[in-house]
Amino acid sequence: MLGRVEVADGARAVPLTAAKHQALLVSCLLDPGRVVSVHRLVDALWGERPPATAPALVHTYVCAVRRALGAPERLLTRSPGYVMEVGPQEVDVHRFAALAAEGRAAAERQDLAGAVEAMREALLLWRGPAFGGVGESFLRAEATRLEEMRSAVQEERISIELRMGRGADLVPELVGLVARQPLRERPRGQLMTALYRAGRQAEALEVYREGRRVLNEELGLDPGVELQRLQAEILAGGPVRSPDGPPEPVRLTGRRAAPAELPPAVSDFVGRERETAALRRALLGREAARVCVVVGMPGCGKTALAVTAGHSVRADFPDGQLFVDLHGSRPGAPADPSGVLRRLLGTLGIAGDAVPDDLEAGTALFRSVLADRRMLLVLDDAAGERQVRSLLPGHSGCAVLVTSRRLLAGLEGAGRFTIGPLDARSGARLLAETAGGSRAEADPESAARIVELCGGLPLALRAVGARLGVHPGRSLAMMVRRLSDEDRRLDELAVGDLAVRASLESSYRCLSPGERKALRGIGRLGVRPFRVSALAAHLNVPESTAEELAERLAEAQLLEIQVDESGRPRYRCHELLRLYARERTDFEDKPPEYRLNQVAIEPVATTEKLQAPPLH
């Protein structure tokens, strides 16, 4: 995969020449032992414009790859896709990452010769551009990431060899590197050092002058402080330091304090002990890419969990914590990655006029600035993979915590943590914290019933607790009676900016017309789990269409997938979402006179519903 895609079974070369077959195999090999969904494979093979028959074609390609491998047990079918059974040592991509990590560990132990040997072995695995140019969408992004890793490992190895006094031997390699990547300042500085130590002072200074010219013409920048320092040392004719880290290619502002952008800790956070502990382990692990995605339905407390976990590991990221709201589920366009990068780089001390407008260049600068730092980045409310990829650091010293209402299945190498509503005990604790412990303790039966009527949804429980807090004379039993009216329940679950209906509506707005219609239909199917056949009959569509719609809603965390005793999937809709879907049916699928009658009958309760912005 580090070059043209090739497969070998011992000494036998496996014939696999079709580009789509190669792309499918690469997608599965990137996550060996893990299920790769059909949706992700379609994305890898066709990008944003898949044919209508894409899922069927994926199955055809899988069969072809199995035949070529001659070992069908290697590529297994596992819902909702396929899993590749191979060991990491059998795939050059994973072997490369392991050897690079081995080299860095040796360097930390001051075993410089061992570090160089491991890194050379890692680089020898490359035979050309990653994946040989096959694939679309996330495969192209992954190929770019691997190429960046290749450059970083090569530069680290050269830096170590310079420390070992091997400057003259490195000149030919560095000349080629600088010619291929004239804007990268680290290899240019390494070439200047190698030339100077070989007694070629004039040539070293010429390399600096050429670099300054290229930077001025291409980016309008002067060389970074590291190259300027190196030029001064060469002009002075004394010893020069080995460049042992990436230079800073931009002008810095005076802001140098470590950022601490996490929102305040959630004082009434309850439950989620297991999820918090799992997130801590993942964020503090030693994997090459520590990206954790917290996924869940609207209002389930994803941000609260992320903030709590972030505060629990603050001490492990001494260079700071960054927090960005990506507005993925709010009305209007999600946050633009270029704008987010500009804001983050400003926080990190990069002058605004030094931040490139090009997204790719901005991402490269962001990763360079973070290269020697230990920072935590929290990306809240992500809309999709494309929005997140450009904001990911490039090395293991940093960790990223993402929250989203979607699985972000195409985000390679990420650990996913799906959360749902609170259990009865935790829900009662949250209600007590927000409404006042004495009131909940005085009427535990009503408290338990409120948790049940709210479906354990933290946002709903906080809204109830806030309502009880501003109405001290209202009892829990009275709140139970008000919530028991299904037609008014969502009206009761709103106070201030805590509004369950608004949170659900933001997800509804992100759906396609077909998905919205399916969700409205589900609102009429009742509270019990249902099979695809029931949804197909209600919508009057083929079961295959109903299944695709249900899977899309599940990916958007608006349905929960369960498997019955026969192994067939069943789907379950949260009670509050069911009420919202039924409400949308009343106001989208019924005639206008029905809505006017509702206003006449129940003007106060329906005001919020009718004043909601129109849905397109």
Kindly report the pTM of this predicted structure: 0.57
Is there a single domain that holds both residue 480 and residue 601? no
Query: How far does CA 72 lie from the centroid of its chain?
Result: 32
- pLDDT exceeds 50 at position 604: no
In a domain, 254, yes or no: no
3-state helix/strand/coil string of 153-204: HHHHHHHHHHHCCCHHHHHHHHHHHHHHCCCCHHHHHHHHHHHHHCCCHHHH
Task: Please provide the DSSP assignment of 242-259 as one string.
Answer: ---S----S-B-S--SPP
pLDDT at 403: 96
Domain of 589, CATH number, reads 1.10.10.10
Mean pLDDT for 243-259 is: 50
What is the DSSP code (8-state) at residue 615? P
Is there a single domain that holds both residue 25 and residue 152? yes
pLDDT-derived band at 287 (thresholds 50, 70, 90) equals low
Is there a single domain that holds both residue 90 and residue 223? no
| Other residues' Cβ atoms within 10 Å of the Cβ of residue 486 | 13
| CA separation for the pair 441, 301 (Å, rounded) | 24
Q: Are 84 and 29 in contact (CB under 8 A)?
A: yes
pLDDT at 355: 74
* % residues pLDDT > 70 (the chain): 90
Is there a single domain that holds both residue 556 and residue 510? yes
Sequence length of the chain is 616
Is there a single domain that holds both residue 2 and residue 125? yes
pLDDT by residue (tens digit) across 160-211? 888 888 778 889 899 988 998 899 999 999 999 999 888 888 898 999 999 9
In a domain, 264, yes or no: no
pLDDT-derived band at 305 (thresholds 50, 70, 90) equals very high
Last residue of a domain, one of 161, 176, 191: 161
- pLDDT exceeds 90 at position 133: no
pLDDT by residue (tens digit) across 395-426? 778 899 999 999 898 888 888 999 999 999 99
Is there a single domain that holds both residue 404 and residue 535? no
**Residues paired with residue 291 on neighbouring β-strands, in sequence order:** 400
| CA separation for the pair 243, 211 (Å, rounded) | 16
pLDDT-derived band at 607 (thresholds 50, 70, 90) equals very low
pLDDT by residue (tens digit) across 557-572? 999 988 877 878 899 9
Q: What are phi and psi of 364, to 5 degrees?
A: -60, -40
In a domain, 56, yes or no: yes
Is there a single domain that holds both residue 208 and residue 101? no
Buried b (16+ CB within 10 A) or exposed e, 261-300: ebeeeeeebbbbeebbeebbebbeeeeebbbbbbbbbbbb
| Other residues' Cβ atoms within 10 Å of the Cβ of residue 520 | 22
Kindly report whether the peptide bond that precedes residue 172 is cis, defined as omega within 30 degrees of 0. no
In a domain, 142, yes or no: yes
What is the DSSP code (8-state) at residue 391? T
Is there a single domain that holds both residue 131 and residue 156? yes
| CA separation for the pair 373, 398 (Å, rounded) | 7
Among 210-224, 293-307, 356-370, 521-535, the minimum mean pLDDT is found in 356-370
Domain of 311, CATH number, reads 3.40.50.300
In a domain, 339, yes or no: yes
pLDDT-derived band at 610 (thresholds 50, 70, 90) equals very low
Q: Are 349 and 255 in contact (CB under 8 A)?
A: yes
Is there a single domain that holds both residue 104 and residue 183? no
| CA separation for the pair 354, 222 (Å, rounded) | 10
Sign of the four-CA dihedral 10, 13, 18, 19: positive
Q: Are 2 and 126 in contact (CB under 8 A)?
A: yes
Mean pLDDT for 527-549 is: 90
* CB half-sphere exposure, 196, CA atoms < 13 A: 26
pLDDT-derived band at 247 (thresholds 50, 70, 90) equals very low
pLDDT at 242: 61
3-state helix/strand/coil string of 262-286: CCCCCCCCCCCHHHHHHHHHHHCCC
Give the β-pairing of 81-84 and 75-78. Answer: antiparallel
Of the two residues 267 and 386, the one the predictor is more confident about is: 386
Is there a single domain that holds both residue 392 and residue 452? no
Q: Are 162 and 196 in contact (CB under 8 A)?
A: no
CA distances from 568 to 38, 82, 530 (A): 18, 17, 11
In a domain, 431, yes or no: no
Instruction: Please name the amino acid found at residue 144.
Output: T
| CA-based max dimension of the chain | 93
Domain of 209, CATH number, reads 1.25.40.10
pLDDT at 286: 63
| CA separation for the pair 568, 573 (Å, rounded) | 17
Strand order in the sheet with 81-84: 35-37, 81-84, 75-78
Last residue of a domain, one of 135, 161, 187: 161
In a domain, 489, yes or no: no
pLDDT by residue (tens digit) across 95-114? 999 999 999 999 888 888 89
- The total of structural domains in the chain comes to 5
Is there a single domain that holds both residue 38 and residue 135? yes
Residue 476 structure tokens: 């829990």
pLDDT at 614: 45
- pLDDT exceeds 70 at position 71: yes
| CA separation for the pair 419, 123 (Å, rounded) | 40
| CA separation for the pair 43, 446 (Å, rounded) | 49
Helices and strands counted in the chain (H then E):
28, 14
pLDDT at 11: 67
| CA separation for the pair 451, 480 (Å, rounded) | 10
What is the DSSP code (8-state) at residue 350? B
| CA separation for the pair 227, 325 (Å, rounded) | 36
- pLDDT exceeds 90 at position 369: no
pLDDT at 223: 87
Q: What residue numbers bound the domain in which 479 lies?
A: 436-484
Is there a single domain that holds both residue 171 and residue 103? no
Residue with tokens 């954790």: 292
pLDDT at 90: 87
| Other residues' Cβ atoms within 10 Å of the Cβ of residue 488 | 16
Element at 150 (helix H, strand E): helix 138-163
Query: How far does CA 70 lie from the centroid of its chain?
Result: 35
In a domain, 228, yes or no: yes
If we measure between CA atoms, which residue out of 575, 290, 357 comes closest to residue 453? 575
| CA separation for the pair 301, 296 (Å, rounded) | 8
Sign of the four-CA dihedral 380, 385, 389, 390: negative
Last residue of a domain, one of 214, 249, 284: 249
pLDDT-derived band at 222 (thresholds 50, 70, 90) equals confident
What distance, in Å, lies between the first and last C-alpha atoms of the chain?
44
Mean pLDDT for 55-72 is: 90
